[in-house]
Amino acid sequence: MKERLLDTQAGSTERWRQWLETRLARRRDDGLWRERLTMSPSPSATLRDFASNDYLGLARDPRLAEAQAAASRHYGTGSRASHLVNGHFEIHDQLESRLAELTGRPRALLFSTGYMANLGVLQALCDTKTHIFQDRYNHASLLDGAALSGARSRRFHHNALEDLALLLARSPEDSLKLVASDGVFSMDGDCANIEGLSTLCQRYGAALMIDDAHGLGVLGAHGDGCVGRAYSTREVPILVGTLGKALGTAGAFVAGDDILIDALIQFSRPYLYTTAQPPGVTAATLAALDILRDEPERRERLHNHITYFRHHGHALGLPLMGSQTPIQPLMLGDVERVRRWSDTLRSHGFMIGAIREPTVPSGMARLRIALSSDHERSDIDALLDILETLIQRERS
């Protein structure tokens, strides 16, 4: 009896192995195998980094590191527990107030990552009777959050308000509805039509949720993002921002009114069942917010880089997209072509994200160039030079 059990177990382990091997082989054959790069702490010495989301060059700012070290000494490195046990410190309250203030919302609530914030909102607010509508190009965490919530989930065509309007009109009038969209689309760099989404949501009584991971720190008069103080809590009731991109640290937050934040604290499992953000990270983020306020020249420099890159990119005939943000994808289409360009760029010391399915639809593979205020004009010129060589080589 005992032996039979072991046999069965061995058989099932073998089936698992075969199942995984088949899937891994398929991924390799499709040319979609993913590799991690192991970075050194100062890639700038050998590599020009056009892949990171560190749009304001804050991730390596010594002031953030100092704040992080000081807070770690004071509070301890870890927060030791979740927010509802005893991991919630006054420094977390301070950061929540500052984020609420930055985005012009009554309150904000910290999450450990943006991925968890999106899961946390959708799981807490939606259930199987709720209808969620999302842009087809939304970040994976919004799609996964809808799945976790069990809600009925529909996707509308990218930035197509008329498509969303149709879906909303067809949904049961008395049902709870939530529309979710990225603010700045992470792989395309274009912005959602916040105004249009908000108007539609108000017409159909839907709650609007905007994930401004890539807009926060970069867009808006105060670096407050594509929603921020430009749109009221009534227009955009649920705002998500992340701290690991332009702010250079880690974590995320949800901003909105009392009822939203109370509901998240009570019901959001990705909020409740995880260790609170390390106090050092919180302190570093406070330092980043000071810099955001005191050094608007960083944003200005970044926007000058964007204009400059687009102007010269157009002149060279590069396949630019419509983006006015630091995310400047080159739509190459074919996975092989992306690999060729990416290899050449790498051999000249340029780090650029090669993006392909499943992150983007098949046939829409691209290089995702990310600009930063840390770049020098000469870095962008050097990049444009190689891109010119690449495009001319293809033409000849």
User: Would you tell me which residues interact with ligand PLP (CB under 6 A)?
Assistant: 113-115, 118, 139, 141, 182, 186, 211, 213-214, 242, 244, 252
Q: Which is nearer to ligand PLP, 185 or 231 (CB)?
A: 185
CB count in 10 Å sphere of residue 5 = 9
Residue 355 and residue 329 in contact, taking contact as beta carbons nearer than 8 Å: yes
Q: Which is nearer to ligand PLP, 277 or 379 (CB)?
A: 277
Distances (CA, A) of 379 to 245, 246, 261, 297: 21, 19, 43, 19
CB of 230 vs ligand PLP, minimal distance in Å:
18
Nearest to 137 by CA among 300, 359, 302, 366: 359
- The span from the CA of 292 to the CA of 224, in Å, is 9
Q: Which is nearer to ligand PLP, 216 or 383 (CB)?
A: 216
- The span from the CA of 24 to the CA of 32, in Å, is 10
CB of 112 vs ligand PLP, minimal distance in Å:
8
CB count in 10 Å sphere of residue 24 = 11
CB of 164 vs ligand PLP, minimal distance in Å:
18
CB of 9 vs ligand PLP, minimal distance in Å:
36
Q: Which is nearer to ligand PLP, 118 or 372 (CB)?
A: 118
CB of 46 vs ligand PLP, minimal distance in Å:
26
Find the residue with minimal CB distance to ligand PLP.
Answer: 114
CB of 111 vs ligand PLP, minimal distance in Å:
8
Q: Which is nearer to ligand PLP, 223 or 244 (CB)?
A: 244
Which residues contact residue 369 at a Cβ distance below 8 angstroms, ignoring those fewer than 6 apart?
50, 309, 327, 328, 329, 330, 352, 383
User: 275: which strand partners?
Assistant: 82
| Residue found by looking up tokens 């970069």 in the block | 218
Q: 3-state SS of 111-168?
A: ECCHHHHHHHHHHHHCCCCCEEEEECCCCHHHHHHHHHHCCEEEEECCCCHHHHHHHH
Q: Which is nearer to ligand PLP, 59 or 390 (CB)?
A: 59
Q: Which is nearer to ligand PLP, 191 or 390 (CB)?
A: 191
Residues in the chain: 396
CB of 117 vs ligand PLP, minimal distance in Å:
7
